[in-house]
A = this chain, B = another copy of it.
Amino acid sequence: MTQNPIRFGLIGTGRIGQVHAASIAADPEATLSWVADPFIEGARGVVERFGGTATESPEQLIASGEVDAVLIASPTPTHVDLIEASVNAGLPVLCEKPIDLDIARVDALRPLVQSAGVPVALGFNRRFDRDFKAVRDRVAAGEIGELEQLIIISRDPAAPPADYVRVSGGIFRDMTIHDFDMARYFFPDIVSVSATGTRAFDPGVREHGDFDTAVTTLRTASGGIVTIVNSRHSAIGYDQRIEAFGAKGMLQVANAPTSLVSASTADAVEAKPAFGAFFLERYAQAYASELAEFIKLARGEASTSPTFEDGRAALILADAAQRSATEGVAVDVAL
């Protein structure tokens, strides 16, 4: 490294904000300069552990003159305004997904982002998972021939609290959105969305028009099909698998084991401990790699960071899935 570290302003110090703070502290190319959270105790706690200056005010952080890039990890409704303020201040942005739950607000922001001289990246961390990335790169290199089918199985260990579900925007915008981006990571040419949602175990989500169980099918212009299988709960633990099926073969990513031990008895053989970790542990490496890639972007170097456009596309797919599941029609999309 011959350059100065990127000075980060971190906005939001919840669960995911703390992950980013730790990644910034651990990356020799980055330092944590300012930390903002209206819940000032949160900001102070992060500063104590990882350094920087704490503030209640994101505006003060952006105006400080001491940050080279902004990492937005605050609640979704604040994202659009914070992206706008950062971009107007000439600061590159890494924003957690989704940009917003309302595509109209995203579209209203879009011209500014497109004309800004600074990059805006979206926090689709799974693109940086070592194994998902390896499969995508091997597919791109032609190892399994033309890609024909992609199956994404994505089930959370346990449903979030009802309060969270209520403001989440629904399973497609809140949870499947990661899978929509993963689908686009493999297939850039999605043209149609067909989704089925049910309430298999949590009748309470019905009042928000939401689902706890969903399957989404995406059709591509080139004849590929993506299948996304979601559940808001999973007794076996965090279930995150991918299967890429091509003309010449198949590449699969298995669940991450929590142990190398298997047990065999008269009742069952080769049993392994349950999959345990949720996303913070499962994707720890991915969050760190995401940050490293964003630093390249902020420096003006070649970077594979997903962009604002990727964030917008995933939201369009989520909206289409919600409509498809509600109205029983396949929904065409133009991304």
A interface residues with partner B (beta carbon < 8 Å)? 130-131, 134-135, 138, 143-146, 148-149, 151, 153, 155, 192, 194, 196, 198-201, 213-215, 217, 219-220, 222-225, 227, 229, 231, 233-237, 245-257, 259-275, 328-330
Contact = CB atoms under 8 A, between A and B. Distances in A.
A231 B328 contact: no
Given A259-B134, A261-B134, A146 B201 contact: yes
Contacts of A144: 235, 263, 265
B148 A231 contact: yes
A229 B227 contact: yes
Contacts of A273: 268-269
Nearest to A218: B196
B235 A247 contact: yes
A136 to B, nearest CB: 11
Given A149-B200, A236-B269, 13 more contacts: A138-B263, A143-B263, A155-B245, A194-B217, A196-B217, A196-B225, A237-B266, A251-B262, A252-B261, A263-B268, A268-B273, A268-B274, A328-B330
Contacts of A225: 196, 198, 200, 213-215
A249 to B, nearest CB: 4
Contacts of A270: 252, 270-272
Contacts of A194: 194, 196, 217, 328, 330
A251 B263 contact: yes
Contact of A200 (B130, B214, B224): B224
A144 to B, nearest CB: 7
A262 B266 contact: no
Contacts of A330: 194, 196, 328-329
A269 B275 contact: yes
A269 B236 CA distance: 7
A32 B255 CA distance: 38
Contacts of A130: 259
Given A225-B214, A229-B227, A261 B135 contact: yes
B274 A201 contact: no
28 contacts: A138-B263, A146-B201, A149-B200, A149-B213, A192-B196, A192-B328, A194-B194, A196-B225, A196-B330, A198-B219, A200-B247, A213-B223, A215-B227, A227-B227, A234-B245, A235-B248, A235-B265, A236-B266, A249-B266, A252-B264, A254-B260, A254-B261, A268-B272, A268-B273, A268-B274, A269-B274, A270-B272, A329-B329
A264 B274 contact: yes
Contacts of A215: 149, 217, 225, 227
Contacts of A274: 264-269
